[in-house]
């Protein structure tokens, strides 16, 4: 038993050293992640172009993705040039739910680090807000993906810490909170 204790002592010491190194790395990860989020900005605006609906098929496109950060909208007056709008990210009609989630995934880490996070969709009826936020069973939107990511991480570290999650979901429809 005495021999086993002597053999165990260096291993326990090594475990403690590794635990301290892990905690230091976690602190650095948290700091660097939040610095990166600060550099991106506290408010980020994305635009998503929805695919054409049946009645629009064959019609000329009036909204086009120019590049990863801008889109152009044709003027009603064909003599005027298209207007260009800049965003933090632009998703075209071919972008998947996973593409949109990939841009938002970092917000989950911010929430776990204790920061308040808000994601909201804005646009006219039929613009694709519900699809982006909720999606379908075959193509889940942001709400189920963020929930899965958040609770997956919390479950993974449940033995190390406790967490309280508070979530509010609101819908404004025709100036009424529903």
| Annotated binding-site members for ATP | 123-130
| Under 8 Å between Cβ of 168 and 117 | no
Q: Round to whole Å and give the CA distance between 97 and 128.
A: 12
Task: Kindly give the pairing relationship between strand 83-86 and strand 89-91.
Answer: unpaired
**Distance spanning both ends of the chain, measured CA to CA:** 68
Q: Round to whole Å and give the CA distance between 118 and 143.
A: 11
Per the annotation, where are the binding residues?
Answer: 123-130
Q: Round to whole Å and give the CA distance between 111 and 37.
A: 12
């Amino acid at each position: 038993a005495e021999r086993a204790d002597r053999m165990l002592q260096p291993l326990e010491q090594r475990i403690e050293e590794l635990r301290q190194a892990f905690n230091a790395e976690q602190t650095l990860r948290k700091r660097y992640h939040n610095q990166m989020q600060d550099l991106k900005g506290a408010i980020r605006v994305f635009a998503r172009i929805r695919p054409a609906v049946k009645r629009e098929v064959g019609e000329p496109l009036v909204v086009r993705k120019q590049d990863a950060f801008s889109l152009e909208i044709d003027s009603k007056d064909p003599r005027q040039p298209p207007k260009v709008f800049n965003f933090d990210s632009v998703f075209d009609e071919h972008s998947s739910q996973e593409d949109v989630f990939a841009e938002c995934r970092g917000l989950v880490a911010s929430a776990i680090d204790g920061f308040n996070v808000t994601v909201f969709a804005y646009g006219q009826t039929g613009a694709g807000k519900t699809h982006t936020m909720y999606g379908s069973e075959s193509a889940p939107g942001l709400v189920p993906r963020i929930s899965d990511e958040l609770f997956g991480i919390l479950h993974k570290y449940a033995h190390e810490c406790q967490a309280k999650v508070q979530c509010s979901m609101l819908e404004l429809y025709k100036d009424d909170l529903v």
